[in-house]
Each structure stands twice: as structure tokens, then as C-alpha cells.
Amino acid sequence: MPTDIERAVNDWHTNVVQYLGADDVSKLPEYALHLSRIVAFPELEIGHELNKIDQIGHKILEGTKNFSDLRPTQMIEKINDQLYRKQNFRPNKDDYYNPLNSFLNVVLKRKLGIPITLSLLYLRIADILSFRLLPVNFPSHFLIKHVLEGDSEIIIDPYNEGRIMDDYSLKQLLDQTFTKSNVTLTKAFVEKASATRVALRMLNNLKTSYFECQDIDKALLINEMILDIDDNDQYGFRDKGMIFLRSKKNSDALTIFSEYIEKYPEAEDIDPILDIIRKLRTKNNVDL
């Protein structure tokens, strides 16, 4: 008989994972709501929540004459006005790692979110307005963009009231992430992210939050959902061992970590993992 985790992962696979290959980024808000339903809100009605977002878009259309005739920057300003000034959505800077920030339905209710959830909300609203936006998997700070004719781009930061990012502000964000090295800002940092990469980022954000609040059972579920998307995900594989370690399942942890060093001998964290293996083998009286 399947376990609760197996049932949840199967639900995730049926409703999200099998569709990721189509790379339809317009479906990302829907996928985010399935994540909410599977992990924490089993009675959630996906269509009802999407309709709440769509209503925000319709308010913009109702209050704007000939929206489609506006310049892209004017369209962005109209979305920003409705979303941040009239609806009062804002970043949750005081409680950033709260798992609730990763649930799009809760973001809709509390009007507080993190970069990725506010970006997905923004994407859905823009889709209602027939204004094409794309996800950007920028390091440590999710962004979105609009591609203009001639391949020039407008980069938008929904976490900071939809401000338009120039190269200087993007470099500042990059420097906040890579504090010990001067990383060059290149176009690769603002490439369109695939639906698969965005789904993995959603899951990794949530897993980090559950680790922060010591909810190991939920962290295990999220990690299995990650591995369902990519069973070769290096950090998903490693974190499975970490979760076993925190759950005091030392034999299981030792097995995973031993496989990890075989699969990823050049991993940056190989030394601390080897140290964990030595300690586990000592506890279990197993020779190196």
C-alpha cells in the first residue's frame, strides 16, 4: 500500500511533472497552486484561486482604455499600480523564510510574498492582459522579463514593486549573492527559465524554509518531489541523506552519502560529506 509521501509524489507527477516537458511557462501559477494543495492545503480549489488572480487583471482592463495600445513600460506601470498601490501586495522581508511565502494561495490572501511567488502572480496577471512575460532564474532573486523587437529586453523585479532593472541594479543584485568574488553580469543570467527550472526553484525554496523551521517530514516530501522531476538532481540526492541524518536514520544516511561521493566525486561539498561518512561509520563500527 502506498505511503502518504508516495501518494503525494504521484499526485505531483500526475498534475505537474508530466507536463513540464511542454515548457508552457504560462502554466506556472497553476503548478504553484498544485504545490500548495499537495503539500499543505488538500481542499484547495485551483480554479477558484486562479480566478482571484484573473480578477486583478480584469480590473486593469476595466480601468484602462485601449490597454493593448500602450507601450510596454506603460503596461508595466498599469500592472504595478494595481498590484502594489491598489491591491497592496508587498515583499515579506521580515519573515522571508516562512514556508507560507512559497504558497501562492497564501500570498493571495496575505498579500505578502517572496520574489518567485510575486513573480508568478505578476506573470498570470500579464497573461490575462495578453502582455507576454517570461520567467528569469536570476541567482538568489527571481525576476521576469518582456522581450522587445530586436531582442532587447525589459527586466522586471516584482519583489520590489515591479521596478524595471537596468544593468547597474542587476549587477548590484549579483554582487549581493556573490559577495566574495566579482562575477561579471552576462546575458546568461537573464535568459528565459524553463518551466522545469522554475518548478525546481519553487521546491528548493520551500525545502529550505522547512529546513529552517525544522519540519523534516515536509522537507522529505519536497525533496522527493524534486527527485521526481530529476532523479539525478545532485542537491536533492545529497539532501535525502541530510534528512535521514536529521531523522537519526544513520544507516540510510550512510547509504545515500556513500552513493553521493561515488556519483559526484568532484562535488564542492565532498570534504564535509566524507567527514559525515567517517563519523557514521565510526558510530556503526564500520571500517573505512
Q: What are the structural domain ranges in the chain? A: 4-190, 232-288
How large a percentage of the chain has pLDDT more than 90?
93
Q: Write the DSSP assignment of 170-218 as a string of letters.
A: HHHHHHHHSTTS-PPP-GGGGSBPPHHHHHHHHHHHHHHHHHHTT-HHH
Neighbours of 286 (CB within 10 A): 12
Residues 180-219: pLDDT tens digits? 888 999 999 999 999 999 999 999 999 999 999 999 999 9
What per-residue confidence (pLDDT) applies to 149? Answer: 85
Question: What are 215's three cell numbers?
Answer: 519540519
pTM above 0.85, yes or no: yes
Band (285; pLDDT cuts 50, 70, 90): low
Mean pLDDT of all residues in 245-274: 94
Looking at the predicted structure, is the pLDDT value of residue 257 above 60?
A: yes
Query: For residue 144, which phi and psi values (nearest 5 degrees)?
Result: -135, 165
Q: Is the pLDDT of residue 284 over 80?
A: no
Lowest mean pLDDT among 37-51, 103-117, 175-189: 175-189
Which residue has better confidence, 89 or 1?
Answer: 89
